[in-house]
């Protein structure tokens, strides 16, 4: 009789696939990938028990670079796919990767409803305030006066505030990280995974190609001066004075996660089939 297998502790490298990332050298997403693998190792999860779901964009390449199950889905639709997966396979740890274009514009509506539904997902949005993959168009988080070849003089449009939206829509865990601090991001991701319900982490991840000035974020970010709160009103007041560079956990709610609804059958399958008969 074989002795029972002793589980081997996994390291961050065990969550990295053999595929080499093709992001631009210096891109913040390298650091986010590193943070995700460190977080999964620190949680001592196993790759076969984790799924990484994404949409489209530079950041959405992440599933291929991990050894976890992955789904590189349709633009902006990572959250519906992840929601379905978690509902069908609640035992899996489901991470969702997105960017500010994919997550806040194309997938903006799904973001609101994922917060509201509070399914136990960890949503990581790599925010670089630009559509990088499609060559530098302004995104929902782009500053109104950011002038570029594609938006001369800037869009003049007020930027989206993801943390405010997440809080107003019911997200159960809200945090902000900075890719230049991969250790800090790893800790935030691990905490978000452990927290029940919908956890949202915005990670400021500079686009060194189209927004080289974002290298200056390193000097702008600072640890949040306040401890996390479980009071949405208090969190909202903090966001009133947030300049977008406070790093850490803002809100840890106590709302129970969505765990599916008890379904009582009112019709037999045969009854339903009858309805389709011509």
Partner 1 sequence: MSKSAPKPSHDYSEFMQRAYAMELEASERYAQFAEQMDGHNNREVAELFRKLSGIEALHAKRILEEMRWPSLPALPPAYAWEGPEGPETAPFESVHYLMQPYHALEIALACELQAQKYFESIAAGRVPEKVRITAREMAQEEREHVMLIRAWLENVPQPAAGWDEDPDPPRANE
Collapsing DSSP to helix, strand or coil, 144 comes out as coil
Of 21 and 154, nearer to partner 1 (C-beta) is 21
Nearest to 162 by CA among 223, 251, 75: 251
Applying CB under 8 A, does 183 fall inside the site for partner 1?
A: yes
Residue in 25, 152, 156, 275 binding partner 1, rule: CB under 8 A = 25
Applying CB under 8 A, does 58 fall inside the site for partner 1?
A: yes
Applying CB under 8 A, does 127 fall inside the site for partner 1?
A: no
Residues in the chain, overall count: 278
Beta carbon of residue 12, minimum distance to partner 1 (angstroms, whole number): 9
Instruction: Please give the Cα distance from 82 to 68 (Å, whole number).
Output: 14
Bridge partner residues of 97 (DSSP) = 54, 124
Of 170 and 184, nearer to partner 1 (C-beta) is 184
Are the C-beta atoms of residues 48 and 92 closer than 8 Å to each other?
no
Instruction: Please give the Cα distance from 137 to 131 (Å, whole number).
Output: 5
Applying CB under 8 A, does 63 fall inside the site for partner 1?
A: no
Applying CB under 8 A, does 23 fall inside the site for partner 1?
A: yes
Instruction: Please give the Cα distance from 210 to 131 (Å, whole number).
Output: 9
Of 24 and 164, nearer to partner 1 (C-beta) is 24
Judged by CB under 8 A, the chain residues 235 through 254 that form the site for partner 1 are 247-248
Applying CB under 8 A, does 234 fall inside the site for partner 1?
A: no
Of 148 and 259, nearer to partner 1 (C-beta) is 148
Instruction: Please give the Cα distance from 153 to 263 (Å, whole number).
Output: 55
Are the C-beta atoms of residues 54 and 72 closer than 8 Å to each other?
yes
Binding mask 193-212 for partner 1 (x = CB under 8 A): -------------x-xxx--
Residue in 215, 234, 267, 274 binding partner 1, rule: CB under 8 A = 215
Of 165 and 187, nearer to partner 1 (C-beta) is 187
Residue in 138, 162, 180, 197 binding partner 1, rule: CB under 8 A = 180
Instruction: Please give the Cα distance from 124 to 82 (Å, whole number).
Output: 12
Instruction: Please give the Cα distance from 121 to 105 (Å, whole number).
Output: 20
Instruction: Please give the Cα distance from 253 to 182 (Å, whole number).
Output: 25
Are the C-beta atoms of residues 132 and 212 closer than 8 Å to each other?
no
Applying CB under 8 A, does 181 fall inside the site for partner 1?
A: yes
Of 23 and 198, nearer to partner 1 (C-beta) is 23
Tokens of 72: 């590189």
Applying CB under 8 A, does 34 fall inside the site for partner 1?
A: yes
Beta carbon of residue 213, minimum distance to partner 1 (angstroms, whole number): 12
Contacts 24+ apart (CB under 8 A), 1-4: none
Give the binding-site size for partner 1 (rule: CB under 8 A). 35
Applying CB under 8 A, does 149 fall inside the site for partner 1?
A: no
Binding site for partner 1 (CB under 8 A): 20-28, 30-31, 34, 58, 61, 133, 135-136, 178-184, 206, 208-210, 215, 218, 221-223, 247-248
């Amino acid at each position: 009789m074989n002795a029972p297998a002793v589980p081997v502790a996994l390291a961050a490298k065990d969550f990295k696939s053999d595929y080499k990332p093709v992001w631009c050298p210096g891109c913040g997403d390298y650091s986010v990938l590193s943070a995700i693998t460190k977080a999964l190792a620190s949680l001592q999860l196993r790759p076969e028990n984790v799924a990484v779901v994404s949409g489209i964009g530079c950041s959405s390449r992440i599933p291929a670079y991990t050894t976890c199950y992955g789904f590189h889905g349709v633009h902006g639709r990572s959250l519906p796919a992840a929601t379905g997966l978690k509902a069908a396979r609640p035992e899996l740890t489901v991470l969702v990767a997105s960017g500010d274009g994919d997550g806040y514009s194309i997938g903006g509506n799904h973001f609101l409803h994922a917060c509201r539904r509070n399914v136990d997902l960890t949503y990581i949005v790599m925010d670089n305030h630009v559509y990088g993959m499609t060559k530098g168009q302004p995104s929902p988080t782009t500053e109104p006066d950011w002038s570029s070849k594609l938006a001369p003089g800037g869009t003049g449009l007020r930027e989206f505030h993801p943390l405010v939206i997440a809080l107003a829509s019911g997200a159960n865990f809200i945090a902000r990280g900075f890719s230049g601090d991969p250790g800090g991001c790893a800790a935030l991701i691990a905490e978000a995974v452990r927290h029940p319900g919908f956890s949202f982490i915005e990670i400021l991840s500079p686009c060194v190609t189209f927004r080289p000035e974002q290298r200056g974020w390193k000097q702008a970010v600072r640890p949040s001066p306040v401890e996390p709160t479980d009071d949405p009103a208090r969190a909202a007041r903090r966001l009133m004075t947030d300049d977008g560079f406070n790093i850490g956990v803002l809100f840890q709610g106590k709302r129970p996660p969505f765990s599916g609804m008890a379904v009582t059958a009112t019709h037999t399958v045969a009854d339903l089939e009858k309805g389709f008969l011509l």
